[in-house]
A and B are shown apart, each in its own frame.
Chain A
Amino acid sequence: MATKSGAQKNARKGEPEGEGVFKTSVSARHALDRVFSVLVFVAAMIGLVVLAVLLVDIARDGLPRLSWAFITSFPSVIPQNSGIYPALLGSLWLLGLTAILSVPLGIGAAVYLEEYAPDNWLTRLIEVNISNLAGVPSIIYGLLGLGIFVNLLGGITGGQSIVSGALTLSLLILPVIIIATREALRTIPGAVREGGYALGATRWEVIRSHLLPMALPGALTGTILALSRAIGETAPLIVVGAATYITFAPDSPLSSYSALPIQIYSWVSQPQPAFQLAAAAGIVVLMVVLLLTNSVAIWLRNKYQRRG
């Protein structure tokens, strides 16, 4: 500010030293500019460098430990014999149940808010509430699940069961699904709806035959990203009582369970280095599962976009 007003004064009076000050500072200013442009570039790359180091580190620790036996064995007190089989199955159970519970709820809520809800304080309250829920720490959802699903409704859910875990995760990812689906619905032009109504279709008929298929790619991508977040969640599952040491494969929604991140946490917490390597191998399995679900998301989106 000071230099600017100074330069203005000089320009007005036409003093020669103003020009001199301006000239000498230009090269310095441009030098500073070059330093700054390097700085911002480095800042943008730091995150990616750390990500690369992290992936290499985990691959280096985990890949040698990874084997078919690791995937098909049960955990053991002997680190070399420990496997991830029940945790992997538990994660798949959780993934399936969470999807069944959260996808219809999330899409239903999004359709209501975008297509039906009147513009009043109640609707705005729901909207603010959803964006607020998206910012609640995941461990708080764990406490909710512990209080409601495990203890209050323990008679129905079987207490510390897969259902309790899946219900907790469903509530956790519901805001993400709702927000993604609403955005997908919002991009559909109003003419599509009006065309449907003009032909005598009811609101629901327009939604079912036109809006949902058109919103599907966007909604699906958001949903699968939300589900992959659910697979990686650890804290809420610990709170709702996922077991860290389990010697049988879960066979029903009411059985007790472990999950990949829980198993990894349990191994990381062990002092023996051999368990740390098992944790790294478990992380590799977890990352592969995440990669697969994300690939499915991208594949589905491309498939439906081409058709649309």
Chain B
Amino acid sequence: MAVNAEQRGPSGEGMWQRESRARHFRERAIKIVLAACAYVSVLTTFGIVFVLLFETVNFFREVSIVEFFTSTTWSAAFANPQFGILVLASGTLLTTLIAIAVALPVGLLAAIFLSEYASPGLRRWLKPALEILAGVPTIVYGYFALTFVTPLLRETILPSMTIFNALSAGLVMGVMIIPTIASVSEDAIHAVPRSLREGAYALGATKRETATRIVLPAALSGIVAATILGISRAVGETMIVAVAAGNLAQLTANPLESVQTMTAFIVQVASGDTPTGSLTYNTIFAVGSTLFVMTLILNIVSYVFVRRFREAY
């Protein structure tokens, strides 16, 4: 037996080792390739930060940072350009406020309906149907705002409104954001334990009272997260405002007038011929940096709130 083992040993062991080594090598190679795929996302973030930072620094070599944040005039395309980001930020703020004024009440009530009122069958088709709203390309919404909503409002209740205005763009953007707010709020409302509802019913509360006074406060952090996420979407939304809000950079709080948002400015400059490295070229990166920082902060705050409602129960 011992002799046999000795005779067979070397060749058997050798074969086994060779295959094992090949397998090990392949396994390790595959793991490295897959890890590289995962690191592409990290590279993407680095790429974004690098590009934005690099061109923004170039921009601030020519434009004073104080002027950028305090000037109340934005005239990037003119002979003696002024760069007051406040003007574009006010356009973004105005359209975002209108959008949230539409999307928050509608989305929240829709979430209550889906979670507390709808039958399981209705819920099953209504949820994906609402998701379609988020899947419609934004250029389509832009067309809709410009050629349907604006004429409709001008012919009926707001004849003084200009053709390009913040109101139509904001309203349609609000519709686009409804599914975002409804879906995240619904998750939070759904996560409220059943016992809280049963306790309320046992105390004699009606369905509405339970929904608005017990369930909503309990889901508040999730609803805040949904709202912030919605704001972040609205701030970053581009095509609706580029098409329907006009491209007039002015500091106004009147929703019936034209405004220019940060995103719309980038599109306006990028649509034309802008030589690489020129001041105008650098401007869109400075505006992009501002936009990126704003949405980043909003997303982080929203993430913190989402974690809180996930951990609460």
Contact = CB atoms under 8 A, between A and B. Distances in A.
Interface in A174-190: 174-175, 178
Interface string A38-52: 011111101110110
Interface string B131-146: 0110111111111101
Contacts of A287: 140
Contact of B48 (A30, A135, A144, A244): A144
Contacts of B292: 136-137, 140
Contacts, number: 258
Contacts of B288: 139-140, 143
Interface string A233-255: 11100110100100000000000
Contact of B266 (A33, A113, A239): A239
Interface stretch (A69-77, A78-86, A92-100, A103-111): A103-111
A286 interface: yes
Contact of A54 (B39, B144, B182): B144
Contacts of A108: 33-34, 36-38
A268 B142 contact: yes
B188 interface: no
Interface residues of A, number: 86
A202 interface: yes
Contacts of A135: 229, 232, 295, 299
B96 to A, nearest CB: 12
B296 A54 contact: no
B263 A235 contact: yes
Interface stretch (A13-21, A123-131, A300-308): A123-131
A283 interface: yes
A9 interface: no
Interface in A108-165: 108-109, 111-113, 116-117, 125-126, 129-133, 135-144, 146-148, 151
Contacts of B209: 29, 33
B270 interface: yes
Interface stretch (B9-17, B70-78, B113-121, B191-199): B113-121
Given A33-B206, A139-B288, A51 B238 contact: no
Given A43-B105, A43-B110, A105-B40, A112 B285 contact: no
A144 B289 CA distance: 11
Contacts of A44: 109-110, 113-114, 118, 126, 130, 182
Contacts of A290: 135, 137
Interface residues of B, number: 90
A264 interface: yes
Nearest to A123: B38
B243 A269 contact: yes
B34 A143 contact: no
A143 B138 contact: no
A214 to B, nearest CB: 18
Given A132-B299, A174-B41, A112 B34 contact: yes
A139 B113 contact: no
Nearest to B146: A268
B174 to A, nearest CB: 10
Nearest to A54: B144
Contact of A136 (B34, B48, B271): B48
A292 interface: no
The A interface is mostly helix, strand or loop, or mixed, namely helix
Contacts of B48: 136, 140-141, 143-144
B27 A202 contact: yes
A58 interface: yes
Given A33-B207, A54-B136, A143-B288, A40 B117 contact: yes
Nearest to A228: B135
Contacts of B148: 53-54, 57
Contact of B130 (A47, A138, A148): A47
A210 interface: no
A118 to B, nearest CB: 11
A48 B130 contact: yes
Contact of A51 (B126, B133, B300): B133
B155 to A, nearest CB: 15
Contacts of B251: none
Given A138-B238, A203-B27, A233-B137, A43 B109 contact: yes
11 contacts: A41-B117, A50-B133, A126-B41, A129-B45, A137-B291, A143-B266, A147-B47, A234-B238, A235-B263, A239-B267, A241-B270
Given A33-B207, A147-B54, A280-B147, 16 more contacts: A41-B113, A46-B106, A46-B110, A47-B175, A58-B144, A106-B37, A112-B37, A116-B35, A131-B303, A137-B236, A140-B52, A140-B292, A142-B270, A144-B51, A178-B41, A233-B137
Interface of B: 23, 26-27, 30-31, 33-42, 44-45, 47-48, 50-52, 54-55, 105-110, 112-114, 116-118, 126, 129-130, 132-133, 135-144, 146-148, 175, 178-179, 182, 203, 206-209, 211-212, 229, 232, 235-239, 242-243, 263, 266-267, 270-271, 276, 284-285, 288, 291-292, 295-296, 299-300, 303
Counting from the closest, the 6 A-B pairs by CB-CB distance are A137-B236, A232-B137, A108-B37, A43-B109, A147-B51, A112-B34
